[in-house]
Structure 1
Amino acid sequence: MLRICLLLFYSLYTGVAGADSDVWLLVDTTALKIEVKKGERTVDTISDIAIGRGGAGYKTHRGDDVTPFGDYRIGWVGERSNFRRFFGLTYPNAQDARTALIKGIINMQTYERIVEAIESNQIPPQNTPLGGQIGIHGLGAADETIHRSMNWTHGCIAMTNNQIDHLSRYVEPGMVVKIK
């Protein structure tokens, strides 16, 4: 028990290093928009995004179709994706892992793997009970009409191909992404 408490305490005070830029993304799941921020100033806004079919909140398991709230980083950039471009997020983060450990969703070994990856500036394991492969992506060959009419993803943040191309001007690995 002491080991769990120490790990939880330690993970509260460690950060993930990333991009040197002060440009970051704020994903507003209520307004369905992404703001490109430089410090606290909004420099660009992309509206009419789509999120998970299950809404936004705390993800409890793979396949819940929920877009996770939290602070993440761009872990990888997939330029050749079925969704045109895919900006993978460092989900699950240490807070997601901490909550899942406390709730008994993951075990200590899985918790430690996630936290170790985050602390080492690596992509956390994508195959845990919490799921993975959460990111920001375009439509690829999907129907833009459906995209504009409903939230349809399995937990990702989606936008049109033109929008993802536009956003790619700002995105770099390590960039902070806050989902609220």
Structure 2
Amino acid sequence: MWRIYLLLYCSCCATVVSAAEDIWLLVDTSALKIEVKKGEKTLETLDGIAIGQGGAGFKHHRGDNVTPFGDYRIGWVGEQSAFKKFFGLTYPSVDDAGKALEQGLINRVTYNSIVYAHKHNQVPPQNTPLGGRIGIHGLGRADEKIHKMMNWTHGCIALTNSQIDHLSHWIDKGTMVRIK
């Protein structure tokens, strides 16, 4: 299969990264699945994902165990993660920051730093009151039986180790991820 790659410049680490052109992920938190998409066409579906213990929606604060709704990009890839592989998302988004500022959950300085990061194609601050280090990851040494029984993460999207290995062939830094 031929793949076309789009080269992107990552200003946060001054490197060029690639993402398969037009490939993006749709994370369906109700159906507990990830669809690998090219445009509007679904190329593959990964079922049986786990999300945050607090469900999915707007994250109000670090530690609420909610998987955030919204559009993000993969901002970094952790190959040496305790969860096998970790694809970090560019959470919080500008939309997340705007809602949080309106609700008094973050201050103007934090809002501005999130907006600045997105404007300059950088990973936003990961230590805000809204939390951070939200991503898509495998199980590592975690029990696959528990993974299949319940939503267990602190806000991330978890797959089995074989699923995360398979997904890693489709995605890289820069890939768009929509969580609904």
- State the TM-score, normalized to the length of structure 1: 0.89
SS at match of 1:123: coil
Who is 1:126 aligned against?
126
Matched residues in 2 for 1:56 and 1:150: separation? 14
Aligned pairs (5 A) from 1:61-76: 61-76=61-76
Aligned equivalents of 1:157 and 1:20: distance in 2?
A: 21
Letter in 2 for 1:23: I
Identify the residue that residue 53 of structure 2 maps to in structure 1: 53
Any idea what SS the aligned residue of 2:87 has? strand
Distance 2:57 2:127 in 1: 20
Q: List aligned pairs for 1:1-180, cutoff 5 A.
A: 19=19, 21-180=21-180
> Is residue 62–residue 132 contact of structure 2 (8 Å, CA) maintained in 1?
yes
Q: Distance in 1 between matches of 2:138 and 2:175?
A: 18
Q: Distance in 2 between matches of 1:20 and 1:66?
A: 29
Alpha-carbon distance between aligned partners in 2 of 1:144 and 1:23, rounded to the nearest angstrom = 28
More strand by share: 2
Distance 1:30 1:168 in 2: 23
What one-letter code is carried by the residue in structure 1 that aligns with 2:157? I
SS in 1 for 2:99: helix
SS in 2 for 1:114: helix
Q: Which runs of 5+ in 2 are unaligned?
A: 1-17
The structure with the greater share of residues assigned to helix is: 1
Percent identity among equivalent residues?
Answer: 69
Q: Count the aligned residue pairs.
A: 163
Q: What SS does the aligned partner of 1:87 have?
A: strand
2:39 is aligned with what amino acid? Answer: G
**C-alpha separation in 2, matches of 1:98 and 1:46:** 32
| Structure 1 portions without partners, runs of 5+ | 1-17
Deviations 1:105-133 (A, max 9, x none): 00000000000001100000000000000
1:154 alignment partner, SS class: coil
Structure 2 SS opposite 1:25? strand
CA distance in 2, matches of 1:117, 1:90: 9
Partner of 1:79, secondary structure, is: strand
Rounded Cα–Cα distance in structure 1 between residues aligned with 2:99 and 2:86: 27
Aligned-residue Cα RMSD (Å) equals 1.0
